[in-house]
């Protein structure tokens, strides 16, 4: 491709709207442009990268016997109501009515469509296993679209759905996808780490996310420094140390004027947060819930939401708090609260007694004991793990890092096949629900993640496998000899099957060098009058800065050999 013809609107200035490096570089390198909040147009270079990623994905999906299909983006509300996700997805889903007043949504994911498609087609065990995938636009009306295509409202996803006869079949399909994902990311030149994940609105049991570790990542991952344990913080657990604290025996109401937060209480009582019971009030589908964690712990809302299994979990408003606890926020607690479900973290079970709100302004109880002073519905793991916690599998120490979720795989089990009636007849003629899995890769997010992992102060350093072009030839100056030679090398490399961009624009050398660095083509060849006189072409590897001179007579051979060594 000749750069004089390429639509490549690069920007010199940092775009003000971009916070993270990949977003800045995707705009500056002319890969995409913004249309509306979280919605982008992909320009020629950007779309080439996407197509390269899609090609790698297709190869690995096809190799693992998944078959490509294309499912509708416009989806009828009926199937979503059957699976009970019409409400559960809530405002994340763009919903509308057609001219006949029928409700539709723009597909945020396709479990329902696949189950609906196959429930009438799958008859016997002979039709299984089956794995269908597609690469398509998804629409999610994210609360906070940001970081460019990292969290868009419209984005490209590769999604796959496996259907099996039983759990063993699902385990095999899941493992095949796990392996395919691992290979896809390696082939894209990305370093990822698979971590245990929460299943969220998808439902189901096992789940892993594939994370690109990066400071800008919106996810937090807990890693064990000693063993292989790694989990999204939404899901991560830690060892529950058995210890009892605060052995106050008597329940005492204490005047604590102005002490409403754990910090203020620590100061007031001169005791650590671990002697206190923190009470956090929620509205769960209209029902009042009080979650209790130890004062030094933070509540993990995802764990609470999973236990409650409700469509809507929201922090209680001041009004709700006054209604249910007859007190203002900061002084609420489990003792004497009526009509409220009380759910406690397992560490509370290990507390002999604790300090907690008295449901009266400026008062707290000291010596509050579960079982004697209040009851809890259940104990479960409700806390957010912290750096330095003990690993649940080896008791080593946990470390926390940020990551970008580029892929997510789920064992759905029979959640959709049971709610939507997708079953098959087994060898003995018995009707059984199909066992499903679902597997997603954020294709457009992956572009941004690749840049987060591969850039320097001057621009993008594309991994070779997903670079829009492999080679850029810089034609410096307007000498006929230079123009002819650059052209000749360009033709030769193209004929050798390489992907070449030639900067034949009438621009200054400095502009060409800067643009080449910015757009990050892995190998740069410079053709100028000085190097021609010396009988060479100057080669430079973008990512490592390695510089070489190629003899004019063997440019193609040396380029091909060098490319084979670049990652």
Q: Which residues bind ligand ATP (CB under 6 A)?
A: 109, 140, 142, 151-152, 155, 157, 405-408, 440, 442, 444-445
Of these partners, ligand ATP, Mg ion, none, which one is at the site of residue 445 (CB under 5 to 8 Å by kind)?
ligand ATP
235 vs 408, beta carbon nearer Mg ion: 408
Pairing of strands 523-527, 471-475: parallel
Only one residue has tokens 């959709």, namely: 416
Which does residue 303 touch among ligand ATP, Mg ion, none (CB within 5 to 8 A, set by kind)? none
Residue 85 interaction partner, one of Mg ion, ligand ATP, none, beta carbon < 5-8 Å per kind: none
Among candidate residues 419, 405, 410, the one with its CA nearest the CA of residue 173:
410
Residue 558 partner contact from ligand ATP, Mg ion, none using kind-dependent CB cut-offs of 5 to 8 Å: none
Token pair recorded at residue 244: 């009892």
Identity of the residue, 105 or 355, whose beta carbon is nearer to ligand ATP in the bound complex: 105
The option from ligand ATP, Mg ion, none interacting with 348 (CB < 5 to 8 A, set by class) reads: none
Q: Which does 407 bind (CB under 5 to 8 A by kind): ligand ATP, Mg ion, none?
A: ligand ATP
Q: State in angstroms the smallest separation of the CB of 461 from ligand ATP.
A: 22
> Could you list the residues that contact Mg ion (CB under 5 A)?
408
DSSP string, 188-249: TT---EEEE---GGG--S-EEEEEEE-TT-SEEEEEESSSS-EEETTT--------------
C-beta of 83 vs 109, nearer to ligand ATP? 109
Report the distance separating Cα 376 and Cα 351, nearest Å: 13
Crossing angle of helices 555-565 and 480-495, in 10° steps, is 60
Shortest spacing between CB 140 and ligand ATP, in angstroms: 5
> Shortest Cβ distance from residue 439 to ligand ATP (Å)?
9
Report helix, strand and coil shares of the chain as percent, to nearest 5. Answer: 30, 30, 40
φ/ψ of residue 40, rounded to 5: -130, 150
Q: Which of ligand ATP, Mg ion, none does residue 442 bind (CB under 5 to 8 Å by kind)?
A: ligand ATP
Cα 4 to Cα 18: distance, rounded to the nearest angstrom:
28
Closer to ligand ATP by CB, 42 or 374: give it.
42
CB of 174 to Mg ion, least distance (A): 15
| Residue 4 region by backbone torsions, left for phi larger than 0, else alpha for psi between -120 and 50, else beta | alpha
Instruction: Please identify the residue of the shown chain whose CB is closest to the bound Mg ion.
Output: 408
Q: Looking at 214-362, which runs of residues are DSSP E strands?
A: 219-224, 230-232, 252-255, 277-284, 287-294, 313-315, 341-345, 354-357
**Rounded CA gap, 127 and 123, in Å?**
7
Q: CB of residue 108 vs ligand ATP: minimum separation in angstroms? A: 8
**Taking the complex as a whole, how short is the minimal distance between the CB of residue 94 and ligand ATP, in angstroms?**
13
Smallest distance, Å, CB 405 to Mg ion? 5
Q: Which does 212 bind (CB under 5 to 8 A by kind): Mg ion, ligand ATP, none?
A: none
Between residues 145 and 334, which has the closer beta carbon with respect to ligand ATP? 145
What per-residue string of b and e applies to 306-333 under the rule 16 or more CB within 10 Å gives b?
A: bbbebbebeebeeebbeebbebbbbbbb
Residue nearest ligand ATP (C-beta atom): 442
Strand partners, 549: 538
H or E stretch at 167: helix 167-187
R_g (Cα) of the chain, nearest Å: 29
If the CB atoms of residues 325 and 410 are measured against ligand ATP, the closer one turns out to be 410
Residue 216 binding target from ligand ATP, Mg ion, none, CB below 5 to 8 Å by type: none
CB closer to ligand ATP, 340 vs 409: 409
Q: Of all helices (H) and strands (E), which one includes residue 533?
A: helix 529-533
Pairing of strands 130-139, 287-294: unpaired
Closest separation in Å from C-beta 298 to ligand ATP: 19
165 makes contact, choosing from Mg ion, ligand ATP, none, with CB < 5 to 8 Å by partner type, with none
Shortest distance (Å) from residue 190 CB to ligand ATP: 12
CB of 36 to ligand ATP, least distance (A): 14
CB nearer to ligand ATP: pick between 283 and 444: 444
- 181 vs 513, which CB is nearer to ligand ATP? 181
Would you say 208 or 455 has its CB closer to Mg ion? Answer: 208
Do 558 and 539 form a contact (C-beta atoms < 8 A)? yes
Closest to ligand ATP by CB, 324 or 408: 408
Minimum distance from residue 150 beta carbon to Mg ion (Å)? 13
- What are the tokens at 372? 């004697």
Q: Which is nearer to ligand ATP, 24 or 408 (CB)?
A: 408
Tokens describing residue 463: 């991994």
* CA–CA separation, 316 and 440 (whole Å): 34
For Mg ion, the closer CB: 38 or 169: 38
d(CA 46, CA 6): 12
365 binds, among Mg ion, ligand ATP, none (CB under 5 to 8 A by kind): none
Q: Are 361 and 329 in contact (CB under 8 A)?
A: no
From the CB of 148, what's the least distance to ligand ATP, in Å?
A: 9
With CB under 5 to 8 Å by kind, the binding choice for 103 among ligand ATP, Mg ion, none is none
125 binds, among ligand ATP, Mg ion, none (CB under 5 to 8 A by kind): none
User: Cβ of residue 406: shortest distance to ligand ATP, in angstroms?
Assistant: 5
Q: Is 418 exposed, middle or buried (0-12, 13-18, 19+ CB in 10 A)?
A: middle
Contact criterion met (CB below 8 Å) for 364 and 332: no
């Amino acid at each position: 491709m000749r750069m004089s013809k390429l639509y490549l609107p690069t920007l010199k200035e940092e775009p003000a709207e971009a916070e993270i490096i990949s977003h800045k570089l995707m705009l500056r390198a002319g890969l995409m442009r913004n249309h509306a909040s979280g919605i982008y147009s992909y320009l020629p270079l950007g779309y080439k990268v996407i197509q390269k990623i899609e090609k790698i994905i297709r190869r690995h999906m096809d190799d693992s016997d998944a078959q490509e299909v294309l499912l509708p983006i416009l989806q009828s509300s009926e199937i979503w109501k059957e699976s009970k996700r019409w409400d559960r997805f809530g405002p994340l889903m763009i919903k509308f009515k057609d001219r006949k007043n029928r409700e539709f949504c723009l597909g945020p994911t396709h479990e329902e469509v696949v189950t609906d498609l196959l429930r009438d087609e799958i008859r016997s065990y002979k039709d299984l296993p089956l794995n269908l995938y597609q690469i398509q636009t998804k629409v999610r009306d994210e609360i906070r679209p940001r970081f460019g295509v990292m969290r868009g409202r419209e984005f490209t996803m590769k999604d796959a759905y496996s259907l099996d006869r039983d759990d063993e079949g699902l385990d095999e399909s899941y493992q095949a996808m796990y392996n395919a994902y691992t290979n896809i990311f390696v082939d894209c030149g990305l370093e990822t780490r698979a971590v245990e994940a929460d299943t969220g609105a998808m439902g189901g049991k096992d789940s892993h996310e594939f994370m690109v570790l990066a400071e800008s990542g919106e996810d937090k991952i807990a890693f064990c420094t000693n063993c292989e344990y790694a989990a999204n913080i939404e899901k991560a657990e830690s060892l529950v140390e058995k210890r009892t604290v605060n052995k106050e025996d008597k329940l005492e109401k204490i005047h604590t004027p102005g002490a409403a937060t754990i910090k203020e209480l620590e100061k007031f009582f001169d005791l650590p947060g671990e002697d206190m019971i923190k009470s956090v009030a929620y509205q769960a589908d209209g029902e009042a819930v009080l979650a209790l964690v130890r004062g030094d712990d933070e509540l993990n809302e995802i764990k609470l939401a999973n236990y409650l299994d409700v469509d809507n979990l929201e922090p209680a408003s001041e009004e709700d708090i006054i209604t249910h606890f007859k007190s203002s926020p900061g002084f609420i607690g489990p003792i004497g609260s009526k009509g409220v479900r009380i759910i406690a973290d397992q560490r509370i079970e290990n507390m002999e007694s604790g300090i907690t709100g008295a449901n009266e302004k400026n008062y707290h109880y000291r010596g509050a004991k579960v079982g004697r002073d209040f009851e809890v519905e259940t104990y479960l793991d409700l806390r957010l793990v912290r750096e330095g916690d003990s690993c649940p599998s080896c008791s080593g120490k946990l470390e926390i890092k940020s990551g970008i979720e580029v892929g997510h795989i789920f064992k759905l089990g029979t959640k959709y096949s049971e709610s939507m009636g997708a079953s098959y007849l087994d060898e003995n003629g018995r009707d059984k629900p199909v066992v499903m899995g679902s597997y997603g890769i954020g294709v457009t997010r992956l572009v941004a993640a690749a840049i987060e992992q591969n850039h320097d102060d001057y621009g993008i350093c594309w991994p070779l496998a997903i670079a829009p072009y492999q080679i850029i030839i810089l034609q410096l100056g307007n000498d006929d000899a230079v123009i002819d030679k650059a052209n000749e090398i360009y033709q030769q490399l193209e004929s050798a099957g390489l992907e070449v961009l030639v900067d034949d624009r009438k621009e200054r050398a400095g502009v060409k060098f800067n643009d080449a660095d910015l757009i990050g083509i892995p190998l740069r060849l410079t053709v100028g009058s000085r190097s021609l006189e010396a009988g060479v072409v100057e080669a430079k590897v973008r990512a490592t800065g390695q510089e070489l001179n190629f003899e004019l007579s063997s440019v193609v051979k040396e380029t091909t050999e060098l490319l084979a060594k670049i990652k």
